[in-house]
Amino acid sequence: RNARQYLVLHDPQLLKNYQERHEEYLKIGTELFDLLLDNTLKQKLLVLNQLEQTIYDELRALSTVVVKAESALEAPTDGQSDGATLDQQNNVQGIVQELISLAETAQSILQDTSSLINSEIEILRSMSANAKEIISWEVVAVIPCAVIFIIVFAILLSRPVREIDQAIRRLGEGDFDQPVVISGPRDLEYLGQRLNWLRLRLLELEEKKSKFLAYVSHELKTPLTAIREGAELLLEGVAGKLTRSQEDVATILRKSSINLQTMIEKLLSFNMPEATEMRSSIVRVDMGEVINSVVVDHKPAIIAKGLRVDLECENVSLKGDLEQLRVVVDNLVSNAVKYSPDGGNIQVILRVERDQLVLDVKDSGPGIDSGDKDKVFDAFYRGKRPDKSHIRGSGLGLSIAKEFVSAHSGSIVVVDEIQGAHFRVTLPTNIGKDTPWVAQ
């Protein structure tokens, strides 16, 4: 457009604008030539570049002629100016035709380029559709494979996890004889090796504990038995008749030795509740007979303190370990006898509530301090209330009772009372069930 305007107006500014466009065209043409992949388009672009360069050269030559013609107009001579004007017009007409040809060539390149772009777009669209179809089939194929992989992986991983869980359960139940062998990933196998090391360590400690308990049992009971027998012989007068004061001292020795022996037996039984559970003999236990038998055993102490024992026992039985249940009742009754004041009252109530055995043992003693209620079942804990007996308790009686009650899937709690202590034991009776009770 600048070139055609210049051909009409002969304005130097228009020619300058055209020259700037020409330089810009050369730069764009070079970049376009590098981008084009079609050889036909490259040939057309070369023709376009040559034609444009020809027009540019002709315009520069024409501009020189125009300048000379303008100078000649200022100083006219003969008919040479008319010839120059005629040549100038012919040149202009030629440039105009070349410009038309340039535009047509550029339009042809544009159309061919658009066609090539559309063709490439169709190719890409076809490739995209094919890729989408391939991906869809791959997804359809991958999903079942992934599900199968997940199932297989879960099976392979769950097996060693179950083995670890079983090994931990065996260790928790005190079964240290079976080795821990875990098959699976290397990390889980290493964990199995550490569990087996722990099993061996626990087995070693269990053996040491058993030896220690056997040693303590022998070393403590042997001299204690001698002390007790010596006190009995003194009281029987084997060494001669005793004075009243000597009889009191011998009585204290015998009673203290009996209490000390009871404490040692409780200490030993406390250290072996789990083993007792595993070897327990499950039978039908008549709880009324157990309570009556325990009260009879404590009758000398009851008579000595002038206590009154009220028994309200229903006919209740349950499946369990006779010795463990007897220990529970004995510990509760012995505590009641021990802490009741002279001439006090003890209540033992046995009943059934909603298929559960409920045993209440109450005394008229000082009761349990409010700060001790959450701790009385802890091993070796002795309350803040004073113990007036010659030998203080070991703090194991209630702890052992709780262990044995828990082994029977029951519970033992302290019931709030205005005066005295009140313990309540709740056990499942299993009445009417053919399946025997099994310790948990």
pLDDT per position as a tens digit, 215-254: 666 667 667 777 877 888 888 887 788 888 888 788 888 8
What residues pair up with 360 in beta bridges, in sequence order?
Answer: 349, 424
Identify the band that residue 207 occupies on the pLDDT scale cut at 50, 70 and 90. confident
Tell me the per-residue pLDDT of 167-190, one tens digit each, with 9 for 90 and over: 888 888 777 888 888 887 788 888
Is 424 in a helix, a strand, or coil?
strand
Residue 368 has pLDDT above 50, yes or no: yes
d(C-alpha 345, C-alpha 72), whole Å? 152
Residue pLDDT, tens place only, 405-433: 988 889 999 888 888 889 999 999 764 34
* Residue, of 341 and 371, whose pLDDT is higher: 341
Q: How far apart are CA 260 and CA 386, in angstroms?
A: 19
Q: How far apart are CA 366 and CA 344, in angstroms?
A: 11
Residue 302 has pLDDT above 50, yes or no: yes
pTM metric for this prediction: 0.45
The H or E element containing residue 68 is helix 39-74
- For residue 18, count CB atoms less than 10 angstroms from its CB and return exposed for 0-12, middle for 13-18, buried for 19 or more: buried
Residue 393: its pLDDT value, please? 54
Which pLDDT value is given to residue 426? 93
Q: Which of 426, 220, 208, 181 is nearest to 328 (CA)?
A: 426
Choose the most confident range, by mean pLDDT, from 11-25, 67-81, 217-231, 307-321.
307-321
pLDDT greater than 80 at residue 308: yes
The tens digit of pLDDT for each residue in 70-118 reads 555 555 555 444 544 555 566 666 777 777 777 787 777 788 778 878 8
> Where does the pLDDT of residue 437 fall: very low under 50, low under 70, confident under 90, or very high at 90 and above?
very low
Interval 123-150 mean pLDDT: 88
The pLDDT, as a whole number, for residue 278 is 41
The predicted model gives 14-31 an average pLDDT of: 79
The backbone torsions φ and ψ at residue 130, rounded to the nearest 5 degrees and listed phi first, read: -65, -40
Q: Write out pLDDT tens, residues 245-298.
A: 888 788 888 877 877 777 777 666 655 544 444 445 688 889 999 999 888 888
